[in-house]
Structure 1
Amino acid sequence: MKSTLTTLILATSMAMAAPSDYVNFVRQIQKDFEWDITVAPSGSMLSAEGIDEDGSQFLLFSVHSTLGIEYLLDDVFVSTYTPEAKLAVVTEDPYDAIPRTRVDRPFSISVNIKGMTHAAPAAGDVVLPAAAQKVLLSHKAYNYPEGVHSLEGRDNPAEIDVGTALLRGNGTTVINYATNHLTAPDLTKAEGEEVWTISALNDWGWEGEVLESKKVQIWPIADASITGIDPNKRYSNLPPINVKYNDLYPASETWVHIYPGPPVANATNFTDIPDGYWKAVDSVPESPPAKVLTGIDHLFPEEGAYTMEVVHQTPFGLDVLTQFYPIRVDRTVEFKGGLYTAE
C-alpha cells in the first residue's frame, strides 16, 4: 500500500503534430495549493508533492508552443490510504495470553479499521480502487487431533472455511458468535481453534498483505464419574469411593461435597470432602488421576440417604458435573450376645 504518490506515467503525444511542437506540464491540486511541473512527452517522474490525506487532483496539459492553445489531456484524482487493522477476540474468560473459551459459550470479535481513503472530492465522479476502501476478513476453524491440544508441528492442518467478508471504510465492527464452528461426534467434547485474518486487497501489482490475525482456543466441557459404591446397599462403614475428572477447564477448581437427602439445585447444607479437591494449573484441559476417597464416614453423621456431587468452578460459573444418589448410611447400633444380671 502507498501513502504517497511515487510515480506518474505519461503518454502525451498528440495526433497530427510532432511532440516538439508542444510544451507539456502536470498540475497537482490539493487543498489551497497548486503546483505545475513541466514533463517530457513520455516517461515517469515523482509528483511535485506528496499526496495529501484528502487526496490530490492531477491535470495533464499540453500547450502548442506557437499557437498557445492549451489542451487538457487527462484528469486523475489520487487518494492516499494505508490500511491498518486491530482485531480482538472477546470471551467470558479473562485469561489474556491467548483468548480461550468453552465449547458451549458465546464469544465475539471486534475489528477496528483505519487508514482507508476519505471520500472523493465533490468536484468529480471519481471511482476509487477497492483496495482504498475495503479490507478482507477471513474466518477459519481447526479441530485439534484427538489427545492433542494444539496444531503445533502440523504444517497443513485440515481447516474448516467458515467464510469471508469485505469490510468497508474506517471504524469498528463487532461480530457476535452464539456458537463455534468446530465439529466432533460429541460436540460437548469438541476442541480446537478459530482464526480470523484481516488482509489488504491487491492493488496496482502489490499483493495484499496480512494486517492482523487472531485466534481463540475452544475447550471441551468437563465431566466426572463416581464409582465404587452401590446405591442399593446400606453402609455402616463406607468403602473407598473413586472420583474421576475429565477435561477440566484451564485454571478451574473442582471439588466434591455431600449433603443429606436427594439432589437439589443450589444446595446450601453441604459438607466439602477435602480429598476431592483439584486445582487445574495448566493452560489446556486436564484429566488428573482418579481421586480415591477413604476415611470419610465421620462426614455422614446421621443415618439416611445422602447425595454426593462433583462441582466445577470456571469463569463461566459453577457447574455440577455429576451426582450420585443415594449413598445409604446405616447408623443403627447392634448388640450381640446375652444380657446378664448380677445378684
Structure 2
Amino acid sequence: NGIGIDRSLATLLSQANLTNSDTWQVLYFPINSVPGADRSKVRGEERFSIYSLEDYQAPASQLASQFIQIWPVADGSISGITSGETIRSAMPNVTLTMHDLYPDSQVFAKIYKGASNLSATGQIVPGSAQIIYEAVPQDRTLTLTDWDTVLDDDGQWTIDLMTTTPFGTDRLASVTFNLDRIIKVNGSVTTAE
C-alpha cells in the first residue's frame, strides 16, 4: 500500500550511459518495472537516479534522484441492481464497491435518463459522494438507500460510478435499468336500480 517500504531491499534494474555531451539523448523506460501479474494492480516505488561518471578530476557522484510511487488503477462495481432490470416499485438498496481510490480523489454515483453515455452530465445520487484525503490508495463501500428522489420519470436510466483524480475523470462501473412505476387499472362502473 506504499507505507513502510524498505528501500534497502531495492535492486538495480537497468542503467544507461550518456555517451556524447554534444547532443540530446532520449532514454526509454517501461511504464513501470514493479513485478506483478496484473499490470493494472501493481503497487510499489521506483527510483530514478542520475550519476556523473568518474574521470581524472572527480569521482563518480550522484547528481539527482527521485522516487516515484506506483499505484494500482482504481476499479469499482455496482450491486443490488443489474443492467436491463425493470424496477416497478421503490428503488432497491444499491452497494457501490470501490478499490484503489487515489489520494486526493473524489468518488460519486451520477444518474441520468437514457442509455450509458460518458458525456452525460446527470445528477449526483445523494449519499454517494466522498473525498479521499488519505496518502495511499483506499478501498470504500457505500450503500445507497432511499434514492428514489432523483428519478423524476419512468423510462430508461443509467447510474455511473465515477472517480475524479488529479489525472482526470474515469467511470469505474455503469448499470442501465428501466423504471416502470405506472400502475394501470382496468375497471368498470355499473349501477343498479
Same fold (TM over 0.5): yes
| Contact residue 2 and residue 69 of structure 2 kept, 8 A | no
| Contact residue 240 and residue 292 of structure 1 kept, 8 A | yes
| Contact residue 303 and residue 329 of structure 1 kept, 8 A | yes
TM-score scaled to structure 1, two decimals? 0.49
Instruction: State, as a whole percentage, how many aligned pairs show the same letter.
Output: 29
Structure 2 residue identity aligned to 1:332: I
Among 194, 198, 202, which residue is 2:46 paired with?
194
Q: 1:170/1:281 Cα in 2 relative to 1: closer, same or farther (>3 Å)?
A: farther
Q: 1:185/1:311 Cα in 2 relative to 1: closer, same or farther (>3 Å)?
A: same
Q: How does 1:1-343 map to 2 (within 5 A)?
A: 148-150=1-3, 152-153=5-6, 155-157=8-10, 159=11, 161-166=13-18, 168-169=20-21, 179-203=31-55, 207-230=59-82, 231-268=84-121, 270-288=122-140, 290-326=141-177, 328-333=178-183
Counterpart Cα distance in 2 of 1:201 and 1:190:
33
* Structure 1: unaligned runs, 5 residues or longer: 1-147
| Contact residue 76 and residue 161 of structure 2 kept, 8 A | yes
| Contact residue 150 and residue 192 of structure 1 kept, 8 A | no
Counterpart Cα distance in 1 of 2:27 and 2:192:
89
Shift of 1:211: 2.5
| Contact residue 199 and residue 212 of structure 1 kept, 8 A | yes
| Contact residue 193 and residue 215 of structure 1 kept, 8 A | yes
| Contact residue 132 and residue 138 of structure 2 kept, 8 A | yes
| Contact residue 18 and residue 25 of structure 2 kept, 8 A | no
Counterpart Cα distance in 1 of 2:64 and 2:13:
18
Length, aligned pairs only: 192
Shift of 1:205: 10
Counterpart Cα distance in 2 of 1:341 and 1:281:
70
| Contact residue 199 and residue 210 of structure 1 kept, 8 A | yes
Instruction: Say what the alpha-carbon RMSD is for the aligned residues.
Output: 3.2
* Structure 2: unaligned runs, 5 residues or longer: none
2:149 counterpart SS class: helix
TM-score scaled to structure 2, two decimals? 0.82
| Contact residue 162 and residue 181 of structure 1 kept, 8 A | no
**Structure having the larger proportion of residues in strand:** 1
Counterpart Cα distance in 2 of 1:280 and 1:160:
33
Shift of 1:176: 6.5
Counterpart Cα distance in 1 of 2:12 and 2:155:
53
Q: Highest Rg: 1 or 2? A: 1
State the Cα deviation string for residues 177-235 of structure 1 (Å, max 9, x = none): 67333332111112222212222333469752322211221222111100012443423
